């Protein structure tokens, strides 16, 4: 999964319409009874830039409290759901990735 939305980079100097945003890492940390998941999402000009491993235009980082158990989304899906709950990503379009077997 990934997102598509217009972003601004370089201190709001450049607008990138239909940028491709993808979580590249999700790391769960437990300290005592507190569990958090740190996520990193890269933003690219488009999907092809990501697939060709070009440098990202910008990086977003955040953290959330993951949920574990039966019938619960995986960590990355929870990360995307969390990000969509934030105003800056509320209008992002979900991009479903093809799964290669």
Q: Per residue in 17-72, pLDDT tens? A: 999 999 999 999 999 999 999 999 999 999 999 999 999 999 999 999 998 888 77
C-alpha 35/C-alpha 26 separation (Å) is 13
Query: Residue 9, Cβ neighbours under 10 Å: how many?
Result: 15
On the question of pLDDT at 98 being above 70, the answer is no
**What was the pLDDT predicted at 97?**
65
Residue 65: per-residue pLDDT: 93
Residue matched to tokens 């960590």: 75
- Prediction pTM value: 0.84
């Amino acid at each position: 999964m990934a997102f598509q939305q217009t972003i601004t980079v370089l201190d709001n100097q450049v607008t990138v319409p239909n940028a491709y945003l993808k979580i590249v890492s999700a790391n769960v940390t437990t300290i005592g009874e507190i569990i958090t998941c740190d996520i990193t999402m890269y933003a690219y000009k488009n999907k092809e830039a990501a697939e060709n491993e070009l440098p990202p235009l910008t990086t977003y980082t955040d953290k959330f409290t993951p949920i574990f158990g039966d019938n619960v989304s995986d960590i990355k899906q929870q990360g995307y759901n969390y990000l969509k709950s934030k105003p800056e990503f509320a209008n992002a379009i979900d991009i479903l990735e093809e799964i290669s077997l």
